[in-house]
Structure 1
């Protein structure tokens, strides 16, 4: 009697993946993307929170820098963001800080506005200065 099939490997394993296996992989990829995608896109609240935390950290860094270097620094809101300046005693003028990349001029995200005021509710106008003393004593603001 003759054998029905030739001895050796089964041809089924050489044909590739089954439809069920491909569908299971696609479902797993879909679930993974469902968890990852919301974290890739920031909403307006996240952008606002990040920018406010950045400003707090930069103000603390600028105050520490003014104290450690023994120089007057200032924070100034601009029409589209804010910047830090250093007082040049020899010329008696405020100049933008270019030697410290951390204190470079910053632009706010589109549609974002900056409203700063002192504790006495005095608004800090665009291009006005909030000085940071080398003594470490600074005017309170909000």
Structure 2
């Protein structure tokens, strides 16, 4: 018996045909692979296009917290400089002024320089407990003890009140 040229363990195709078959399988993607890629791309695009909006009430409270900390810093600065410092709300923002021999001058430093409102603030009311009048500025004196005050910030989301106890500390309510 003469042995066959092709043994059962070997591929019945020629080496050239076998290589061509492997090349054609490796050259493309299957339908399932394409669907998975499209699904992942769709999820990523939808996540990227989602616009997460913050709660306007949270923005207002954060602006009130920032302002309360600035008030405390302004009170400390007035004591260090031995000159009164005033906070004045403006259209679209606020500024701090220092009292000099020539009158009130705007502060231009990084901490107490003029700023624009954040948090959607549309209005401000400054009131002193026990008084019916509203003031147009808040003055921080050179002494550690001051008059209690309330500063209310208004926005479309509501209002936030900053309460100064007269001891140099301010808290948001």
TM-score by length of 2: 0.62
Question: Structure 1's 37 and 80: CA in aligned 2 closer, same or farther, altered over 3 A?
Answer: closer
Q: Indicate yes or no: 2:85 matched with 1:73.
A: yes
Give the number of the structure whose alpha-carbon radius of gyration is greater.
2
Give the unaligned 5+ runs of structure 2.
1-5, 7-11, 151-173
Q: What are the residue-to-residue correspondences of 1:28-107 with 2, within 5 Å?
A: 28-29=43-44, 32-33=47-48, 37-38=51-52, 41-88=53-100, 90-91=101-102, 93-98=103-108, 100-107=109-116
| In 1: Cα distance, 2:131 partner to 2:34 partner | 68
Partner residue of 1:24 out of 20, 35, 39: 39
- 1:82 Cα shift? 2.1
Partner residue of 1:108 out of 107, 114, 117: 117
TM-superposition CA deviations, 1:36-67 (whole Å, max 9, x none)? 742xx334223212221221111111112112
| In 1: Cα distance, 2:71 partner to 2:51 partner | 33
| In 1: Cα distance, 2:42 partner to 2:128 partner | 55
Q: Indicate yes or no: 2:127 matched with 1:117.
A: yes
**Structure with the higher fraction of residues in helix conformation:** 1
Aligned residues: 134
**Structure with the higher fraction of residues in strand conformation:** 2
Q: Indicate yes or no: 2:146 matched with 1:131.
A: no
| In 1: Cα distance, 2:117 partner to 2:104 partner | 22
TM-score by length of 1: 0.73
